[in-house]
């Protein structure tokens, strides 16, 4: 194990790889130009990097199930959740419509003694474990594949890249890179808030974990930082939108070179927070969603899977993580399941 103590942005002053902390606009434009997938799968494409998950890829992924062990990677959807109301994001409100009380009293109007319970939930679609869809983030008014944002998402929803268009595509080979366990050994397998995971950190974690953590085209990359595990001990704190470890802006080229299908982490926003530039908000999102067509998974629960992968030293698995096919949605809650 290697322990790293890091300051904001990966170096003491400025950003790694020659980036200028004071120029997020320039860095975003340059990364978008280098890494864009616009037109790669045709001008009408709605699936982005999920095009990389082929039938053969899924067939091979299914063969990774050796023990039959399954792991839910979802946080619980309840009132004791991470949200604090930012952008009107609240925690789920679960309400019973019918209960066992009414059944016992015979108040449900049903024949021959049958009774039942029904319930309803009200929640933002991105309040807990979820996928960011391709209609979630724009760059200068442009959505995935160069479309005008106003022609993609209106008050009626996302009429082009809504989550229903990819309902069957989130199944394939998952790879866990447990950067928290590899680099944060002295801190109990957790990275500190503000830790920027650089491309070399991803490569070092792969080298340490071995051959089952090699990342290739069409893979679902899952990165554990340990941030969610810390909330289980200390409470939610500023988990939703506050400081957090996460992927550096400089990993965009790495993700494009490896042609991953999607990236998920155990943090609120995938990328490091505070963001690496001055006066910036989620610059990583601004490139990878509208320009790469890359789906991002946020607020995943990775503690149990991370412990199991560490124990058997196998970091690949079949990942089944379909969104709810909510017509026009720009994101979706889900219960991802890893099978080993």
Q: 58, 65 in Cβ contact below 8 A?
A: no
The model's pLDDT over 82-94, given as tens digits with 9 standing for 90+, comes to 988 887 889 999 9
Burial category of 60 from C-beta neighbours within 10 Å (exposed 0-12, middle 13-18, buried 19 and up): middle
So what's the pLDDT on residue 15?
61
So what's the pLDDT on residue 9?
39
Q: Which domains does the chain have, with CATH numbers?
A: 8-84+124-339 (3.50.30.50), 91-122 (no CATH)
Instruction: Print pLDDT tens along the chain (340 aa).
Output: 444 444 343 333 446 667 899 999 999 999 999 999 999 999 999 999 999 999 999 999 999 999 999 999 999 999 998 988 887 889 999 999 999 999 999 999 999 999 999 999 999 999 999 999 999 999 999 999 999 999 999 999 999 999 999 999 999 999 999 999 999 887 789 999 999 999 999 999 999 999 999 999 999 999 999 999 999 999 999 999 999 999 999 999 999 999 999 999 999 999 999 999 999 999 999 999 999 999 999 999 999 999 999 999 999 999 999 999 999 999 999 999 999 9
**Distance of alpha carbon 193 from alpha carbon 208, whole angstroms:** 23
The model's pLDDT over 198-234, given as tens digits with 9 standing for 90+, comes to 999 999 999 999 999 999 999 999 999 999 999 999 9
So what's the pLDDT on residue 7?
39
**Distance of alpha carbon 33 from alpha carbon 27, whole angstroms:** 10
So what's the pLDDT on residue 10?
39
So what's the pLDDT on residue 12?
35
Q: What global pTM score does this model have?
A: 0.93
């Amino acid at each position: 194990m290697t322990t790293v103590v890091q300051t904001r942005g990966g170096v003491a002053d400025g950003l790694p790889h020659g980036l200028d902390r004071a120029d997020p606009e320039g860095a975003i434009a340059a990364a978008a130009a280098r890494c864009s997938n616009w037109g790669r799968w045709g001008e009408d494409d709605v699936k982005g990097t999920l095009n990389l998950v082929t039938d053969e890829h899924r067939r091979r992924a299914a063969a990774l199930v050796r023990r039959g062990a399954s792991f839910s990677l979802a946080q619980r959807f309840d009132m004791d959740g991470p949200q604090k109301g930012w952008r009107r994001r609240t925690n789920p409100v679960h309400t019973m419509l019918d209960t066992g009380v009414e059944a016992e009293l015979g108040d449900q109007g049903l024949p021959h003694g049958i009774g039942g319970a029904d319930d309803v939930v009200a929640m933002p679609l991105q309040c807990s474990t979820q996928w960011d869809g391709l209609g979630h983030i724009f760059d200068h008014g442009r959505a995935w594949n160069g479309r005008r944002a106003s022609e993609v998402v209106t008050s009626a929803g996302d009429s082009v890249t809504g989550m229903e268009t990819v309902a069957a595509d989130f199944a394939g080979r998952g790879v866990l890179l447990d950067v928290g366990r590899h680099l944060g050994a002295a801190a109990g397998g957790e990275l500190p808030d503000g830790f920027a995971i650089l491309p070399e950190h991803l490569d070092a974690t792969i080298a340490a974990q071995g051959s089952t953590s090699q990342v290739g085209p069409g893979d679902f990359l899952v990165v554990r930082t340990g941030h969610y595990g810390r909330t289980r001990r200390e409470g939610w704190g500023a988990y939703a939108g506050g400081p957090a470890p996460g992927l550096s802006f400089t990993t965009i080229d790495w993700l494009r070179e490896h042609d991953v299908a999607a990236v998920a982490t155990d943090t609120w926003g995938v990328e490091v927070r505070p963001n690496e530039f001055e006066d910036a908000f989620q610059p990583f999102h601004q490139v990878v969603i509208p320009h790469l067509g890359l789906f991002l998974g946020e607020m995943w629960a990775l503690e149990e899977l991370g412990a199991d992968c560490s124990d058997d030293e196998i970091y690949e698995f079949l990942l089944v993580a379909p969104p709810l096919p909510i017509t026009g949605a720009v994101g979706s809650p889900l219960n991802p399941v890893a099978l080993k």
